């Protein structure tokens, strides 16, 4: 019988390997236009107001995330403020970014102001929710990011009261709303 020791299989294998190597080298030798940019460290990322965006989100992104009918941004600068209308309920929303902030400090400030704090994780980052019901139902979602701390605060407007005499929500889950905005910001940075 022939076939064993005739060198046919090693020659075919060697030819296939050589052809694969030539194709791999040709594919890797392609030149791309542009200039290489150094990677930005987390401390160099910015979340502030820029290019008509706050927290990396456009007004339309904020409106979509909260399923709002209308959105107005009356102020942009060190913080961004929004007024939204959703099914007849007015929402006040504020985005803040402290580029040298500290998550523990923000948690302590929220606790000192009487907020109910709950730890959570948002987009694989340690975060906390701070709920405070005073002139409306309000909640902030805060996480460390970009070498600092960013936060979305959502509050319902209105004077309706629950059966316990606390401010009503108009059916809104303000902590979920704040967390949605924080998640959208962190996803935009990935």
pLDDT truncated to tens, each residue of the chain (190 aa)?
A: 555 555 555 555 555 555 555 444 444 455 556 555 444 444 445 555 566 667 678 889 999 999 999 998 887 777 889 999 998 889 999 999 888 889 999 999 999 999 999 999 999 999 999 999 877 789 999 999 878 899 999 999 864 544 444 445 555 689 999 999 999 989 886 5
Exposed, middle or buried: residue 83 (CB in 10 Å: 0-12, 13-18, 19+)?
Answer: middle
From the centroid of its chain, how far is CA 170?
A: 26
- CATH hierarchy code of domain 42-188: 3.40.1000
CB 149 within 8 Å of CB 103: yes
């Amino acid at each position: 019988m022939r076939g064993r020791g005739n060198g046919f299989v090693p020659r075919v294998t060697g030819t296939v390997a050589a052809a694969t190597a030539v194709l791999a080298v040709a594919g890797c030798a392609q030149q791309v236009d542009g200039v290489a940019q150094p990677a930005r460290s987390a401390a160099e990322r910015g979340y502030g107001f820029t290019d008509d965006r706050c927290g990396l989100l456009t007004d339309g992104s904020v409106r979509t995330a909260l399923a709002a009918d209308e959105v107005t941004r009356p102020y942009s600068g060190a913080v961004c403020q929004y007024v939204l209308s959703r099914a007849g309920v007015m929402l006040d929303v504020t985005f803040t970014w402290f580029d040298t902030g500290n998550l523990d400090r923000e948690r302590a400030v929220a606790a000192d102001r009487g907020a109910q704090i709950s730890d959570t994780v948002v987009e694989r980052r340690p975060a906390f929710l701070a709920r405070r019901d005073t002139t409306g139902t309000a909640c902030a979602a805060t996480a460390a990011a970009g070498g600092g701390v960013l936060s979305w605060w959502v509050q319902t407007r209105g004077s309706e009261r629950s059966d316990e005499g606390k401010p009503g929500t108009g059916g809104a889950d303000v902590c979920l709303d704040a967390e949605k905005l924080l998640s959208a910001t962190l996803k935009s940075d990935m």
